[in-house]
Structure 1
Amino acid sequence: MIKMVVSDVDGTLLPHSRQSLPEQLFEQIRQLKELGILFVAASGRQIGNLCRLFAPVEQEIGYIAENGGLTVYQGKVLDKGSFSMDLTKEIAQAVWEDDSGEFSISGERTYYIHPKTQEFLWLMRDYMHNDIRIIQDFSEIPEECLKVSLFDQKHLEERIPYWTRRFGDRARVVTSGNDWLDFMPGNVHKGNGVRCFQKTLGITPEECMAFGDEHNDIEMLQSVRYSYAVTTAREKVKAVSRFETENVMEILARLIDSGGKLGG
């Protein structure tokens, strides 16, 4: 019997070009709840952004935000990571000095940015509807940081080895979407959030299902029995997943039709 479904958002539930979820998904989440199955949204997005994205079912689901940096259920923070401020500053400064990179520093509910272009400001504030604060100096950040994100639309793939060599010995460096690279504490990932829910709710990995597509989903997929990579997932993600699907909602429909007893 499945008791928890965990899904990545961008690239898995939501095409990278979109910022709204289909109403059918919200209905499926309600049906899962009626079966006693908790739906958990797991994303590199901030918690406020996720709450808006899942507004019709906001109070009915769990959240693993900031790639595992913040785990929230029923309005309570179950788990929270933190990044060294010195390392946060060092990474953000390096990204700022890079020709094609923009940085975003994640607080618990705010993204701190110093945009080089109006396009990046528009993306963060108007397109993605994030809660942002423009800073001129790192001393303006009044809280612990969860992660640093690099946005690079031009050269991200070819630059991943460089960023990994530069900071990989002090931080986890993982892709988090087509144009995003995240730097996080070494012990923070979505899998921690999954295990936090499992421990809190008394759910076993065999009672869990998860869906993902990017490198930041790997530990999450390894934390459940029913792990699905979408067909567009990276090869390393497919390699750690037991199953593959073209459409997450089709699997959810099968799960609902089976009364939560989907096997495989």
Structure 2
Amino acid sequence: MLEQTFPAPILDLPTAEEARALRLVALDMDGTFVRSDKSVAQEVWPVVDELIDRGIVLVAASGRQRGAILETMAPVADRITVLSENGAVVWRGEDVMRAEVLDRQVVTEVARTVRDLAAQGRDTGLVAGAPSRAYVERTDDDFLAHVRHFYPAVEVVDDLTLVPEDVVKLATWDAAPIVEAVVPAIEALDLEADLVRSHEHWADVMRAGASKGASLTRLRTALGIPREACAAFGDHHNDLAMLRSVGLPFAMANAEPEVKEAARFIAPSNDDDGVLQVLRALLDA
């Protein structure tokens, strides 16, 4: 009996000429590079090594803290550029090259709003992210379990408005969809800051104009890399600016509809190792 064979999947890809001109790749982490069960395909690391060996800059761009990004990217941690906190912090090795600091009044107003929502009975909480660590007021194990996946370095304080470091991002979490109450409450503050959804249960407040896309544009400009030679992969609203900043934007098959609309290409889902499939195909072009 003949062994049954299956054709290779047909991928949505740029032209071979565009693929061969590739000089930078930016990857979101959760929902994009990382599977839903928080694992990463081990087969991706030789492909990533080959990418970097060819002189292609690899950027890990995530809402996570730097430490959480490096844990996921451990096999190549010393070979990548990191944009943490949704691009609010740009790292070169262990050095902060740029940090987009939030005004203290914004921190105060958001903290008060989240406290009010919690006092009304909502299962909600707030994380104040500094470049190297995060701060929380809420101390229960359930909330901290959600926080520590993205912020391995976290410290409990009595008052988030008095943390001893510059805050670059305020991450709000709610057990219900974040758009039900938290997003409308923060929007009603009319802050001089940007609010972006990063997950069904998370939304982030950042300095106006700060984003993965803005930081990626500054980085590739400093490196002399044209927009057309850059690819990016993402799945959620906090990836929109990054996808719009490159010539080869890929939305994952599991991405939000608005993200798919912003992309030129659709990659297989994170659970189908879409980044791995596309990177292999681009290198083989």
Shared fold, TM over 0.5:
yes
- Computing the radius of gyration from Cα coordinates, the structure with the larger value is 2
Instruction: Indicate if the aligned counterparts of 2:22 and 2:229 stay in contact, CA closer than 8 A.
Output: yes
**Mapped partners of 2:190, 2:243: distance in 1:** 22
Shift in CA distance, 175/17, structure 1 to aligned 2, threshold 3 Å: farther
- Residue 113 of structure 2 corresponds to 94
Partner of 1:69: 88
What is the DSSP-based 3-state SS (H/G/I as helix, E as strand, rest coil) of the residue aligned with 1:23?
A: coil
Q: Secondary structure at the match of 1:130?
A: coil
TM-score under structure 2 normalisation?
A: 0.84
Helix, strand or coil: the match of 1:174?
Answer: strand
| Counterpart residue number, 2:128 | 105
CA distance in 1, matches of 2:42, 2:34: 12
Q: Identity, % of aligned pairs?
A: 28
Deviation at residue 104 of structure 1 after TM alignment: 0.3
Determine the C-alpha separation between the residues in 1 that align with 2:259 and 2:151.
28
Most deviating of 33-42 and 90-99 = 90-99
Residue identity matched to 1:78? M
Range 57-66 or range 69-78, more displaced: 69-78
The AA in structure 1 aligned to 2:108 is: K
Query: Residue 167 of structure 1: CA displacement?
Result: 3.6
Determine if contact 2:83/2:90 at 8 Å carries over to the other structure.
yes
* Shift in alpha-carbon separation, 1:5–1:204, aligned structure 2, 3 A: same
- SS of the aligned residue for 2:76 comes to helix
Looking at structure 2, the residues matched to 136 and 26 of structure 1 have their Cα atoms a distance apart, in angstroms, of 42
Whether 1:255 aligns to 2:282 is: yes
Letter in structure 2 aligned against 1:108: P
Cα distance in structure 1, aligned partners of 2:264 and 2:161: 46
Which 4+ residue blocks in structure 1 deviate beyond 3 angstroms? none
Question: Structure 1 30/221 Cα, relative in aligned 2: closer, same or farther at 3 Å?
Answer: same
Matched, 1:9 2:26: no
Q: For 1:38 and 1:50, locate their aligned partners in 2 and report how far apart those are by CA, in whole Å.
A: 16
Q: Is the 8 Å Cα contact of residues 60 and 82 (structure 2) preserved in structure 1?
A: yes
Counterparts of 2:258 and 2:161, CA distance in 1: 38
Q: Does 1:35 align with 2:54?
A: yes
Q: CA deviation at 1:160?
A: 5.6
Change (3 A) 1:89 1:16: farther
Residue 262 of structure 1 corresponds to none
Query: Which stretches in structure 2 are left out of the alignment for 5+ residues?
Result: 1-20, 269-273
- Choose which of 194, 197, 201 in structure 2 pairs with 1:172: 194
Q: 1:159-200 deviations in whole A, cap 9, x for unaligned?
A: 365135324542211111231110111110001121122122
2:35 aligned counterpart, secondary structure: coil
Specify whether residues 254 and 102 from structure 1 end up closer, same or farther in structure 2 by C-alpha distance, changes over 3 A only: same
Say which SS state the counterpart of residue 132 (structure 2) adopts.
Answer: coil
Aligned length: 256
Deviation of 1:216 (Å): 0.7
**Letter of the 1:50 counterpart:** I
Cα gap change, 1:103 to 1:17, in 2 (>3 Å): farther
Distance in 1 between residues matched to 2:139 and 2:96, nearest whole Å: 33
Structure 2 letter corresponding to 1:62: T
Q: TM-score, normalised by structure 1?
A: 0.91
Q: Could you say what the CA RMSD is over the residues aligned between the two structures, in angstroms?
A: 1.8
| Structure 1 residue ranges without an equivalent (≥5) | 259-264
